[in-house]
C-alpha cells in the first residue's frame, strides 16, 4: 500500500484564474470515501497579501501564506495572472525550496510561466496553452516547449496545456500515486472520460461535427473489442467503406490521434486495467492487448508508463483495486446519475 500522498497546496494570487483553481480544488480538495484509499490533504496558499481578487471580482481571504509550502508534497500552480508579469521572488524561492526537498510541482495553463521563472524547467520539456507556447519558448530558451501535447511529466515537474488539460494532468498524478483504477474512478465522479494520455493533441481539427460521426464511433468501439487482433488502417477503412486516405483524415479529425498512436494508447490502457484487476500471467495480458510477444509488450509498457508491467502490478495490482468500496462507489454513482 502506498504511503499517504501528503498535502496538496493550491496557490491563489491576485487575479486568480478561477477555472484552473477550481480544477485543482475539485480533484484534490473533495473527500473521496468511495475510493477507500488514503486521500490527499489539501491547503489553499496565498501568494500575495490579502485580500486578493480573482478574475470576475471575487474577493479572496486565505489564512495560509507561502510558508505553508514547506510542508506540501505537491504544489499546484493554477494559471498565472499575466505572462507579462514576473512572479514575486518569495514565491520563486519557496518553489525552489520545495523542489529541492522532493515536492512535486504541477502547473496548469499559464501557470508554467511562474514555474519557468524558477529556473527548474531549464533543460526540460514543458507545455502550456498553444496560444502561449511561442511566448514561453522565446522568454525561456532553455526550456524545450512542446505546443502540441496535453501535459508533460518530467518527474517532479508536470506542466499542462490550456485549462481542461489540467484535469488530465491532475488525473495523471493520481494514477502515479494510486493507479489508473483510482484515477478513472475520480474521472467518473467528474462525469468525464478516463484520463487522456499526455501525448494527445491539444487541438482537434473538427471537435464538433454538424452530423454525428456514427460510422467512426462504431469503428472505435469495434477496435476496443478487438485489441487482441492484428489491426491495420486498411481493415479499419474497409469497415466504413472509405479510402485509407479519407479514413486517416477523418480519424485524426475525430480523435486528435493517428490510428497507430490511438491503438497503442488503448492497448496500454487495457494492459493497465488487466494488471490492476486480474492475476492473469504476462503472456496472456500481452496477447489480450495485441502484442505478438511478451518482450515487445514489456518494452512498450515501460516506455509509456515508466515502469515494467510486473512492478506496476506490484504497486497497483488486485489488492489495491479491491480497496474501492463497492457500496459507497455505487451510492455516489446513483446520486450523480
At residue 199 the predicted structure's pLDDT band, cuts being 50, 70 and 90, is low
Residues 14 and 111 in one domain: yes
* pLDDT for the residue 315: 81
Arithmetic mean of pLDDT over the chain: 86
Residue 199 covered by a domain: no
Residue 30 covered by a domain: yes
At residue 335 the predicted structure's pLDDT band, cuts being 50, 70 and 90, is very low
What percentage of residues in the chain have a pLDDT greater than 90? 60
User: Which grid coordinates belong to 79?
Assistant: 494559471
Give the HSE-up count for residue 220: Cα atoms under 13 Å, Cβ half-sphere. Answer: 16
What 3-state class would DSSP assign to 225?
helix
The model carries a pTM of 0.72
pLDDT tens digit sequence for 218-228: 888 899 999 99
Q: What is the CATH number of the domain that holds 290?
A: 1.10.10.60
Residues 69 and 184 in one domain: yes
* pLDDT for the residue 212: 41
Name the residue with cell 502561449.
132
Residues 172 and 238 in one domain: no
Residues 172 and 246 in one domain: no
Ordered alpha helix ranges (H), the chain: 18-24, 89-100, 112-116, 133-139, 165-178, 180-189, 214-225, 233-239, 244-255, 259-277, 282-288, 294-305, 309-316, 318-321, 326-335
Residues 133 and 179 in one domain: yes
Residues 268 and 295 in one domain: yes
Integer angstrom CA distances of residue 298 from 80, 288, 310:
40, 13, 9
Residues 54 and 163 in one domain: yes
Residues 174 and 47 in one domain: yes
* pLDDT for the residue 281: 94
Residues 235 and 264 in one domain: no
Residue 196 covered by a domain: no
Query: Would the pLDDT of 326 be above 60?
Result: no
Burial of 51 (0-12, 13-18, 19+ CB in 10 A): exposed
Lowest mean pLDDT among 13-17, 75-79, 91-95, 237-241: 237-241
Residue 331 covered by a domain: no
Number of domain units in the chain: 3
- The answer to whether 149 and 127 have CB atoms below 8 angstroms apart is yes
At residue 48 the predicted structure's pLDDT band, cuts being 50, 70 and 90, is very high
Average pLDDT over residues 158-168: 89
Residues 233 and 306 in one domain: no
154-181 exposure pattern, b = at least 16 Cβ within 10 A, e = fewer? eebbbbbbbbbbbbbbbbbbbbbbbbbb
- The answer to whether 52 and 16 have CB atoms below 8 angstroms apart is yes
Query: Would the pLDDT of 36 be above 90?
Result: no
* pLDDT for the residue 164: 84
* pLDDT for the residue 337: 34
Residue 237, domain extent: 214-255
Lowest mean pLDDT among 27-31, 235-239, 254-258: 254-258
At residue 334 the predicted structure's pLDDT band, cuts being 50, 70 and 90, is very low
* pLDDT for the residue 128: 94
At residue 282 the predicted structure's pLDDT band, cuts being 50, 70 and 90, is very high
Residue 170 covered by a domain: yes
Name the residue with cell 463497492.
326
Residue 63 covered by a domain: yes
Residue 209 covered by a domain: no
Lowest mean pLDDT among 87-96, 101-110, 122-131, 315-324: 315-324
Residue 135 covered by a domain: yes
Residues 14 and 148 in one domain: yes
Name the residue with cell 472505435.
220
At residue 197 the predicted structure's pLDDT band, cuts being 50, 70 and 90, is low
Residues 26 and 166 in one domain: yes
Residue 259 CA to residue 150 CA, distance in Å, equals 18
239-258 exposure pattern, b = at least 16 Cβ within 10 A, e = fewer? ebebeeeebbebbbebbbbe
Q: What is the CATH number of the domain that holds 52?
A: 3.40.50.880
At residue 57 the predicted structure's pLDDT band, cuts being 50, 70 and 90, is confident
- The answer to whether 37 and 323 have CB atoms below 8 angstroms apart is yes
Amino acid at each position: 500500500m502506498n504511503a499517504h500522498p501528503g498535502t496538496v497546496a493550491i496557490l491563489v494570487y491576485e487575479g486568480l484564474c478561477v477555472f484552473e483553481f477550481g480544477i485543482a480544488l475539485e480533484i484534490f480538495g473533495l473527500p473521496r470515501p468511495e475510493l477507500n484509499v488514503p486521500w490527499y490533504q489539501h491547503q489553499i496558499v496565498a501568494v500575495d497579501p490579502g485580500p486578493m481578487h480573482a478574475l470576475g471580482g471575487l474577493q479572496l481571504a486565505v489564512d495560509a501564506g507561502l510558508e505553508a509550502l514547506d510542508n506540501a508534497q505537491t504544489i499546484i500552480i493554477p494559471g498565472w495572472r499575466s505572462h507579462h508579469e514576473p512572479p514575486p521572488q518569495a514565491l520563486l524561492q519557496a518553489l525552489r525550496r520545495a523542489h529541492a526537498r522532493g515536492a512535486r510541482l504541477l502547473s496548469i495553463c499559464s501557470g508554467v510561466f511562474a514555474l519557468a521563472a524558477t529556473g527548474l524547467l531549464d533543460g526540460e520539456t514543458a507545455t502550456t496553452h498553444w496560444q502561449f507556447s511561442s511566448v514561453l519558448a522565446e522568454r525561456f530558451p532553455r526550456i524545450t516547449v512542446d505546443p502540441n501535447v496535453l501535459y508533460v511529466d518530467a518527474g517532479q515537474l508536470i506542466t499542462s496545456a490550456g485549462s481542461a488539460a489540467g484535469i488530465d494532468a491532475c488525473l495523471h498524478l493520481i494514477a502515479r500515486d494510486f493507479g489508473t483504477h483510482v484515477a478513472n474512478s475520480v474521472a467518473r465522479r467528474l462525469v468525464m472520460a478516463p484520463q487522456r494520455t499526455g501525448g494527445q493533441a491539444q487541438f482537434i481539427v473538427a471537435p464538433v461535427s454538424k452530423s454525428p460521426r456514427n460510422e467512426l464511433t462504431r469503428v472505435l468501439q469495434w477496435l476496443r473489442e478487438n485489441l487482441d487482433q492484428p489491426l491495420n488502417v486498411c481493415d479499419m477503412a474497409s469497415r466504413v467503406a472509405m479510402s485509407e486516405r479519407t479514413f486517416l483524415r477523418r480519424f485524426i479529425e475525430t480523435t486528435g490521434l493517428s490510428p497507430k498512436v490511438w491503438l497503442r494508447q488503448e492497448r496500454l490502457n487495457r494492459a493497465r486495467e488487466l494488471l490492476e484487476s486480474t492475476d492473469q500471467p504476462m503472456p496472456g495480458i500481452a496477447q489480450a492487448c495485441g502484442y505478438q510477444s511478451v518482450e515487445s509488450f514489456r518494452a512498450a509498457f515501460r516506455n509509456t508508463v515508466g515502469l515494467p508491467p510486473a512492478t506496476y502490478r506490484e504497486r497497483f495490482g488486485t489488492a489495491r483495486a479491491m480497496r474501492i468500496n463497492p457500496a459507497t462507489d455505487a451510492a455516489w454513482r446513483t446520486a450523480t446519475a
